[in-house]
């Protein structure tokens, strides 16, 4: 057998590993950057809050003195000093007497990020005013971005260094040995002596997967050598066998003749039910037809068909259908005990009884007993109107004095007549025996 070459392109495993490492590293850097951004954001907000709290703690007492002494210049200077910090966009001081001091580009006051009351110098009385501060979010974001960018750059450089280092190790420890193994595997052949695999690697006090692979190729090489030896021995044995072929053929011919006789017997029997099959039936009907013409004895043919059998198979499965047919075959054997009577499976759910020497009434009686026996077995069939498995039967008989001519077409006429009456039984309700042509079959026969 010829193995078709793989048409897929060859790709270096080290490059694939490096590409995967870089992809994972990039994803890791992105995830770390996201986490770092969140951490840096929280840290920067806490720093700005602490800064503003410190400023408020140092400037509020001065503002209290300035407002109590009504020194607007001093108050404005204190507000300007607070707003001078880059993290603060604007600051506003509002007094209880309606004076407002605002410094910065923002709109401190409504929606301010920080607010502090200017307490009364005597304490307990109404505050002298309120200090509102708005953060410079642009400056805060810039600080966060700078910190995250620096941390990310450091991490990326570190990971890049690790990737390059790992790649160099892979090339030295994995790629080069794999290339040697690949070249060796291409040279392996069952038609010649293959040298052992030798991989150029530094000496180590341990074994790894490359060593195991090398040992596996040595085992393969030894197996190929044994195969060549066994093949040569087999070829020699085959040459010897050719010399003894004639004797073996004669022995096998005798054995095959015995099997042929057994197969002839098996071809006369239906493998499922054990009844006679159609081939045996064809041989038997020709024999009985000649006997009837020679002796003038009656002969009857009974055609049997299982009602709604396809629905039975569909509902219960083919295994259950086979068991149903086997049970019907058992009943047919029980009712065909006279010499010459033959129970036949024609195919599928179609059966027949060949009754030489049996007249019309005897055939009808046997058919009715068979139908009633199956009915009383009560094989469940929910797909049937009567709820159980039943059969429809058509009977045809030749006996002296009947209208059928006694010639070499007798059995064809009996088959046609029994088949027509079988379908009359189907048409008029099933589970019945029809032994004569009628326009209406209100009774089973």
Going by pLDDT thresholds of 50, 70 and 90, the confidence category of residue 442 is very low
Q: What is the dihedral of CA 234, 239, 244, 246, to 10 degrees?
A: 120
Output the pLDDT for position 299. 92
pLDDT score at 13: 66
Q: Does any domain span residue 204?
A: no
In a domain, 403, yes or no: yes
Rounded CA gap, 71 and 77, in Å?
10
Domain boundary among 87, 115, 141: 141
Q: Phi and psi dihedrals of 405, rounded to 5?
A: -70, 145
pLDDT of residue 111: 66
Question: Higher-confidence residue: 178 or 34?
Answer: 34
DSSP one-letter string for 367-420 = HHHHHHHHHHHT-B-TTSTTSB--EEEEEEEE-TTSSS--STTHHHHHHHHHHH
Cα separation, 324 vs 297, whole angstroms: 35
Q: Does 197 map to a domain?
A: no
Conformation bin of residue 317: beta by default, left when phi > 0, alpha when psi is -120 to 50: left
Element (H, E) at 216: helix 209-243
Residue 188: inside a domain? no
Q: What is the pLDDT of residue 14?
A: 64
Residue 157 lies in a domain: no
Residue with tokens 């030798």: 198
C-alpha torsion sign, points 240, 242, 248, 252: positive
Whether the per-residue pLDDT at 58 is higher than 90: the answer is: no
The answer to whether residue 430 scores a pLDDT higher than 70 is yes
Asked if pLDDT for residue 440 goes beyond 50, the answer is: no
The total domain count for the chain is: 2
- pLDDT of 34 strictly over 60: yes
Supply the pLDDT for residue 240: 80
pLDDT attached to residue 12: 64
Angle at which helices 137-170 and 13-68 cross, to 10°: 160
Q: Which of 171-175, 234-238, 252-256 shows the lowest mean pLDDT across its residues?
A: 171-175
Model pLDDT, residue 367:
95
Give 356 or 59, the one with higher predicted confidence.
Answer: 356
Q: What is the pLDDT of residues 81-140, one digit of tens each?
A: 877 778 787 888 788 777 788 887 755 445 677 787 778 777 666 787 887 888 777 877
Domain extent, residue 47, equals 14-141
| CATH code for the domain in which residue 77 is found | 3.30.450
> At 192, is the secondary structure helix, strand, or coil?
coil
Contacts of 130 (CB under 8 A, 6+ apart): 93, 94, 115, 116, 117, 118
What CATH number does residue 392 fall under?
Answer: 3.30.70.270
Report residue 343's pLDDT band, with 50, 70 and 90 as the boundaries: very high
Who wins on pLDDT, 386 or 406? 386
Q: What is the pLDDT of residue 4?
A: 58
Residue finishing a domain among 141, 157, 181:
141
Residue 99, φ and ψ in degrees, nearest 5: -85, 145
Q: Percent helix, strand, coil in the chain (nearest 5)?
A: 60, 15, 30
The least confident of 230-234, 423-427, 433-437 is 230-234
Coil, strand or helix at 226: helix
* Residue 171 scores a pLDDT above 70: no
268, pLDDT greater than 50: yes
Is the pLDDT at 31 greater than 60? The verdict is yes
Per-residue model confidence (pLDDT) at position 386: 93
Q: Are residues 136 and 276 in the same domain?
A: no
Has residue 151 got a pLDDT over 60?
A: yes
Higher pLDDT, 386 or 169: 386
Q: Is the pLDDT of residue 7 over 70?
A: no
pLDDT at 256 over 50: yes
Indicate the pLDDT class of residue 444, thresholds 50, 70 and 90: very low
pLDDT band, residue 373 (cuts 50/70/90): very high
Domain assignment present for 148: no
The answer as to whether 424 is a domain residue is yes
Q: Among the three residues 111, 141, 171, which one is the final residue of a domain in this structure? A: 141
Strand 391-398 and strand 433-434: pairing?
Answer: parallel
Residue 407 has pLDDT above 50, yes or no: yes
Average pLDDT over all residues of the chain: 81
Instruction: Report pLDDT digits (tens) over 105-117.
Output: 755 445 677 787 7
> Across residues 150-175, what is the average pLDDT?
77
In a domain, 152, yes or no: no
3-state secondary structure of 93: strand
Give the predicted TM-score (pTM) of the model: 0.44
């Amino acid at each position: 057998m010829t193995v078709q070459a793989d048409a897929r392109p060859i790709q270096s495993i080290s490059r694939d590993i490096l590409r995967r490492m870089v992809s994972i590293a990039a994803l890791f850097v992105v995830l770390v950057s996201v986490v770092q951004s969140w951490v840096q954001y929280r840290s920067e907000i806490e720093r700005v809050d602490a800064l503003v709290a410190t400023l408020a703690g140092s400037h509020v007492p001065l503002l209290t003195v300035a407002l109590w002494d009504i020194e607007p210049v001093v108050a404005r200077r204190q507000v300007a000093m607070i707003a001078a910090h880059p993290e603060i966009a604007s600051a506003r001081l509002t007094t209880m007497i309606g004076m407002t001091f605002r410094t910065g580009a923002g709109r401190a006051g409504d929606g301010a990020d920080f607010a502090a009351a200017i307490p009364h110098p005597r304490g307990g009385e109404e505050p002298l005013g309120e200090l509102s501060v708005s953060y410079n979010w642009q400056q805060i974001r810039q600080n966060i971005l700078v910190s995250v960018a620096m941390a990310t750059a450091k991490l990326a450089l570190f990971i890049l260094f690790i990737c390059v280092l790992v790649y160099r190790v892979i090339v030295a420890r994995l790629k080069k040995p794999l290339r040697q193994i690949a070249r060796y595997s291409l040279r392996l052949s069952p038609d010649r002596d293959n040298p052992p695999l030798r991989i150029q690697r530094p000496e180590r006090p341990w074994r790894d997967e490359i060593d195991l692979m090398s040992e596996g190729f040595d085992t393969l090489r030894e197996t190929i050598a044994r195969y060549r030896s066994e093949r040569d021995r087999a070829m020699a044995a085959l040459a010897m066998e050719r010399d003894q072929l004639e004797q073996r053929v004669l022995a096998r011919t005798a054995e095959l003749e015995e099997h042929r006789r057994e197969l002839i017997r098996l071809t006369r029997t239906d493998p499922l039910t054990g009844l006679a099959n159609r081939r045996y039936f064809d041989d038997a009907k020709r024999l009985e037809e000649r006997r009837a013409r020679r002796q003038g004895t009656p002969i009857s043919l009974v055609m049997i068909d299982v009602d709604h059998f396809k629905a039975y198979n569909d509902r219960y499965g083919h295994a259950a259908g086979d068991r149903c047919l086997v049970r019907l075959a058992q009943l047919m054997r029980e009712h065909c005990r006279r010499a010459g009577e033959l129970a036949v499976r024609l195919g599928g759910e179609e059966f027949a009884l060949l009754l030489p020497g049996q007249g019309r009434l005897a055939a009808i009686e046997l058919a009715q007993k068979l139908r009633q026996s199956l009915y009383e077995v009560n094989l469940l069939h929910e797909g049937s109107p009567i709820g159980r498995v039943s059969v429809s039967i058509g009977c045809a008989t030749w006996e002296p004095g009947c209208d059928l001519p006694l010639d070499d077409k007798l059995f064809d006429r009996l088959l046609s007549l029994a088949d027509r009456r079988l379908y009359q039984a189907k048409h008029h309700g099933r589970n019945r025996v029809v032994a004569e042509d009628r326009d209406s079959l209100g009774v089973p026969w």
